[in-house]
Structure 1
């Protein structure tokens, strides 16, 4: 991947995070918008929109940081555990899903039913499973477990600040941009890489044909 493709990749991730942050705010914080819509206050509404877009942009930066950290972790895991790395990733996924249920439920001290936390963890797993299947289909079957690891484990690590805040509003405002950005990055990187490799191959073929043509003329 050249620098131009990298900048384009990061820029699109950044924009997706901002849009996702704004869209989810309409559903999570409708009362904030309602306050300034009746009576209508243009300045306050614009300020509110910019705030939630900025929040989404911030989470997109967290997502990008997590993605490049994942690439390093994956390479290190392959070097350390070799053929056992997929098994290690599955165990870590199971551990993280358990943590997503157990620790928030204990922190809530029984005020929230445990099945809500189970549904949340199951929802994250289901979403990650769908994305990982798509990744494996577009690349190779061995990519499924690493992709699921990224979508579940890395997303959860990125989501920790949102889980520590009391109430669910901030958690939703954070998880939606994270999932949107992580999905985009995971499903786009290999496409960009393949496109770059194809252009490089075509360039070599063109150069070879040009050299052959010059040699035949000589």
Structure 2
């Protein structure tokens, strides 16, 4: 992959993440950005674009970190099949942790664990869809790495919002992460394909 493609990946990911996050952020607090003067709206949108661009930069760091870890895992386990089993176990632990530890940390007296299952299971379902699309576009060996990246790496990148447990920040932080991660997973093989 040449430098032109790396620059393309960087800026398109930044754009996809910041615009998607800004749209969701605007929808979540529509009244805050539309009340008052026109400048309130302009500065609000600029702030949303900026904060979501920062989140998409976190996504890009996670992507390149995962590419390194994936190569390291292949070298350590000497087999794609064994490395895939390890990734599946880590995916299961992360989904369990997203449910259980958030429940332990934030549940109120009358809340059940079901409330804390929704977002992790949605993330897992979304990861399965993205992994299926990646495997369909490339080969079936790409399914587990794509699922691992979407679920595990996104969850790690999402930790600052998870510790706050504010629904607005959960969605505002997740949206640029998930869209940028999806974009990177689904575009990489097109950029690295030989002409």
Same fold (TM over 0.5): yes
Alignment correspondent of 1:64: 60
Counterpart Cα distance in 2 of 1:113 and 1:4:
50
With CA pairs under 8 Å and 6+ residues apart, which has the higher RCO, 1 or 2? 2
SS of 2:166's partner is coil
- Name the counterpart of 2:71: 75
Distance 1:107 1:48 in 2: 32
Give per-residue Cα distances to partners, 1:85-112, cap 9 Å, x unaligned. Answer: 0000000000000000011111113354
27-36 vs 41-50, greater mean Cα deviation: 27-36
Rounded Cα–Cα distance in structure 2 between residues aligned with 1:166 and 1:157 = 15
Distance of 1:55 and 1:113 partners within structure 2: 33
Residue in 1 aligned with 2:27?
A: 27
**Map of 1:93 onto structure 2:** 91
Alignment of 1:43 with 2:39, yes or no, is: yes
Which residue does the alignment assign to 1:204? Answer: none
5 Å-filtered alignment, 1:46-195, equals 46-83=42-79, 84-110=82-108, 112-194=111-193
| Distance in 1 (alpha carbons) for counterparts of 2:171 and 2:126 | 15
Question: How far apart, in 2, do the equivalents of 1:8 and 1:166 lie?
Answer: 34
Unpaired runs of 5+ residues, structure 1, are: 199-218
Q: Residue 110 of structure 1: SS of its match in structure 2?
A: coil
1:58 to partner: Cα distance: 0.4
Write out per-residue CA displacement over residues 131-162 of structure 1, whole angstroms, 9 at most, x where no aligned residue. 00010011110110010000000000000001
Q: How many residues align?
A: 192
- 5+ residue gaps in structure 2? none
Structure 1 residue 120 displacement after superposition: 1.0
Distance 2:185 2:165 in 1: 30
Q: Distance in 2 between matches of 1:95 and 1:114?
A: 16
Instruction: Summarize deviations over 1:34-86 as a string: whole Å, max 9, x none.
Output: 433xxxx0111111111111111001100000000000010000111122100
- Higher Cα Rg, which structure: 1
